[in-house]
Amino acid sequence: MTSAPPRLELAGLSKSFGTVRALREVGLTVGPGEIHGLVGQNGSGKSTLIKILAGYHPPDRGGRILVDGRDLATPIRPRDLRAAGIAIVHQDFGLVREKSVAENIAVGSFITTRWTRRVDWRAEQRRAAEILERLDVTWIDPARPVGALGPADRSIVAIARALRLQRPGEG
């Protein structure tokens, strides 16, 4: 019996900025359905690793990034990462406080009407509620402004936005 490849595998990633070596031969394996957090001291390379994964920095030669056993070309293009079903929830969450929970969850992938291509706000509200329900979150109203939420609930909204990008059947 063969097992499925890891959802995400980083192998031998290194990154230098001039003479400063920020990462040296880093590896990380994330299996299907797993959630990982990067922790470490200041200057340990957490942000550099995520910026490589997000396509902001190219890795030095020799490292590999694989999704479902397939190599991703580096530097990674954000659309390739989305197409692979990989999402990153950053520490600052990247939420717009003045916009609703549903709007923040939908950013970048709004549901539009067939003919006018206008945003279908009712469908966005339903989709946001469905995603929050997957997280067993019933207390966050999709119509509520994100700025009215506490820090813990804002983190849930950021995670819900990441889940919106997940391919059907995952997780």
Supply the pLDDT for residue 142: 95
Last residue of a domain, one of 50, 83, 116: 83
Q: Beta-carbon neighbour count of residue 63 at 10 Å?
A: 19
Residues 113 and 151 occupy one common structural domain: yes
Q: Which residue has the tokens 């995670």?
A: 159
Q: What is the pLDDT of residues 94-105, one digit of tens each?
A: 898 999 999 999
Rounded Cα distance between 2 and 64, Å, is 22
Residue 88 inside a domain? The answer is no
| CA distance linking residue 135 with residue 157, whole number of Å | 10
pLDDT bin (cut points 50, 70, 90) of residue 168 is: very low
* 105 and 79 housed in the same domain: no
Asked if residue 92 is part of any domain, the answer here is: no
pLDDT bucket at 165, cuts 50 / 70 / 90: low
Residues 53-108: pLDDT tens digits? Answer: 888 899 999 889 999 999 988 888 888 887 888 888 877 788 989 999 999 998 86
Q: Taking residues 111-130, report their average pLDDT.
A: 83
The answer to whether residue 155 scores a pLDDT higher than 80 is yes
Same domain, 155 and 113: yes
Residue 115 burial class via C-beta count within 10 angstroms: exposed 0-12, middle 13-18, buried 19 and up: exposed
Domains in the chain: how many in total? 2
| 15 shares its domain with 74 | yes
The CATH code of the domain that includes 12 is 3.40.50.300
- pLDDT at res. 170: 46
Query: Do 112 and 75 fall within a single domain?
Result: no
Say if 89 falls within a structural domain: no
| 51 compared with 116, residue with greater pLDDT | 51
Q: What is the pLDDT of residue 169?
A: 45
Residue-range definition of the domain harbouring residue 43:
8-83
Nearest-angstrom CA–CA distance, 147 and 108: 19
Task: With respect to residue 93, please indicate whether it lies within any of the assigned structural domains.
Answer: no
What's the pLDDT score for residue 29? 94
61 and 13 belong to one structural domain: yes
- Per-residue model confidence as pLDDT tens digits over 6-16: 999 999 999 99
Q: Does a structural domain hold residue 3?
A: no
| Torsion on CA atoms 31, 32, 38, 44, rounded to nearest 10 | 40
Q: Is residue 65 part of a domain?
A: yes
| Same structural domain, 66 and 20 | yes
**Cα→Cα distances 82→38, 43, 61, 86, Å:** 20, 28, 23, 6
Q: Are residues 73 and 110 in the same domain?
A: no
Q: Are residues 47 and 109 in the same domain?
A: no
- DSSP one-letter string for 22-52: EEEEEEEEE-TT--------TTSSHHHHHHH
Residues 74 and 124 in one domain: no
Residue 171 lies in a domain: no
DSSP 3-state of 147 = helix
Containing 70, the helix (H) or strand (E) segment is strand 70-71
pLDDT of residue 37: 82
